[in-house]
Structure 1
């Protein structure tokens, strides 16, 4: 069909009684989150089923994972796919229940992320690997396989502290369906905080065909947003289909993707 990437999201439980606010456009979690395939397992399957399309994550919740075993799982996917795992996105997460289920205090999720990325990158670096941080300790070790090339790290964080982390630790930022002008302005603020001499943080824009609140964009509107993102110099556009109410099967999803041909035309132009 002409899509460049297939990306996954990350949720493993749907709390029936939710203590934290859902971090989306609706007042509560969308029904689509009642069942979500495991992200690394799904990417491993797609790596085997495909030959050329690139793979990524938007977004892995840092609190759902531990950096050393996750580094190995992601490297395995990259090796199995022949180096097609190009982008790994991370966010601090919003679900208190998910954090509690894996033994992570949700109050520490931001500070934990500050240590998570350096630990993950250490695992992808030269052996022997060693990391001593406030949350993670990795004794001098051989950690293999390594990725064929290090995936770009993408931040899905929005708070003031999250934007500081983005400037310090990430290669890309993943804004949602805000106005493109606002994306460009915020990206400028991020790069003003960037350490001198480092490549600037880029952005991959995310546009939901249907939002979690049920707001629907037409295919032409998504194509227009894609042209606008390209004109602003953004690196790419994710078309989010997770919440489209008509999708009840894999076949429904494929039919929807066929209708997105004008968006692909806009991207190519």
Structure 2
């Protein structure tokens, strides 16, 4: 099986820059990367109510500066012609479904059908408060949002009622280029989130982790797909890796940390574990777009992906 390799677009911290975005998008496509990805952060509270789900639980300082994911993808769509364009992930509950569907449809149309939709619940109750969306009941709202997106992309006319929205019978056009909808991938690691992926998603947005843990979660997704009458082989696994590149090798480097050679070996092992796509976010370790592209090229060539 051929494993696709993608790259996160410049979007946050020192990389929240228009020229960096255009340069990396065009050069990544030229280097042969298969996909380009964006994330979704709104704010960094001074006293967070929730721990960041990575590292030591502290929100990375670079996340204080974060460009809008829809605008970043639209720009990338305009300066590329081949690479897939993905979100990993959009916090779906922040957006009324009609607005979210319109934004995603627009990107799919502008890119001639290259959009990969990645959605999640998010982790910050502070961000929910900032957009005026209740934190409680978020899983129910998420499922209702997924249902609404499906209907808006599929039906004409469409009518959808949700927890706090009511779309009267209406034309909502245009529809996406990819019909009946763009691929929809879901994030999450809880048993309920993994079951949802197996039940209704085209793919699972995972993160770098010890491979036995990844395999256990993937087994849960496949079992959920089978219980739902789906072919589990049709569900893809897409793994985000946030490499931290160091000069000296470590004997027991954690996933995503080490020399270029060590990280390339980790990428090969992840690919051999049966995942379908890996994408690299190098904004935490590179100092400028040119070093980011150089590291991306070295990791791609050294890993053989």
Tell me if TM exceeds 0.5.
Answer: yes
Residue deviations 1:176-205, cap 9 Å, x none? 111223222311211111111445422011
What is the CA distance between 1:29 and its match in structure 2? 0.8
Structure 2 residue 195 is matched with structure 1 residue 133: no
1:43 is displaced (CA, Å) by: 0.6
Asked if 1:196 is matched to 2:229, the reply is yes
| Aligned residue in 2 for 1:205 | 239
Structure-2 separation of matches of 1:77 and 1:31: 29
RMSD: 2.1
Counterpart in the other structure of 1:241:
282
The unaligned stretches of length 5 or more in structure 1 are none
| TM-score normalised by the chain length of structure 1 | 0.89
Matches within 5 A, 1:43-62: 43-62=73-92
Distance in 2 of aligned mates of 1:22 and 1:256:
24
Distance 1:242 1:66 in 2: 30
Q: CA deviation at 1:172?
A: 0.8
Q: Distance in 2 between matches of 1:66 and 1:242?
A: 30
1:25 matched residue in structure 2: 55
SS at match of 2:244: coil
Q: Distance in 1 between matches of 2:42 and 2:71?
A: 12
CA contact (8 A) 1:174 1:203 kept: yes
Measure how far apart 1:133 and its partner are. Answer: 3.3
Could you report, residue by residue, the CA deviation over 1:143-186 in whole angstroms, capped at 9, with x for unpaired residues?
Answer: 11211112211111111221122122211112211122322231
Give the Cα separation in 2 of the matches to 1:267 and 1:69.
40
Which secondary structure does the structure 2 equivalent of 1:3 belong to? coil
TM-score by length of 2: 0.79
Residue number in structure 2 paired with 1:253? 289
Query: Cα distance, 1:46 vs. partner?
Result: 1.1
Instruction: Tell me if the contact between 2:189 and 2:217 (Cα under 8 Å) persists in the aligned partners.
Output: no
CA distance in 2 between partners of 1:254 and 1:51 (Å): 21
User: What is the SS of the residue equivalent to 1:158?
Assistant: coil
Q: Which stretch of the first structure deviates more once superposed, 61-70 or 113-122?
A: 61-70
CA distance in 2, matches of 1:21, 1:66: 26
2:109 to 47, 69, 79: 79
Give the match for residue 265 of structure 2.
224
Shift of 1:135: 4.5
Corresponding residue for residue 35 of structure 1: 65
2:261–2:302 Cα contact (<8 Å) kept: no
Q: Deviations over 1:91-146 (max 9, x none)?
A: 11111111011111112222211111111111111311122333443221111121
Structure 1 position 264 matched with structure 2 position 300: yes
Aligned partners of 2:166, 2:283: CA distance in 1, in Å? 36
Alpha carbons of structure 1 residues 91 and 197: separation in structure 2 relative to 1, 3 Å = closer
Aligned length: 261
Task: Give the aligned partner of residue 148 of structure 1.
Answer: 177
Q: Greater relative contact order (Cα 8 A, min sep 6): structure 1 or 2?
A: 2
In structure 2, C-alpha distance between the alignment counterparts of 1:141 and 1:126, rounded to whole Å: 10
Q: Which residue in 2 is equivalent to 1:109?
A: 138
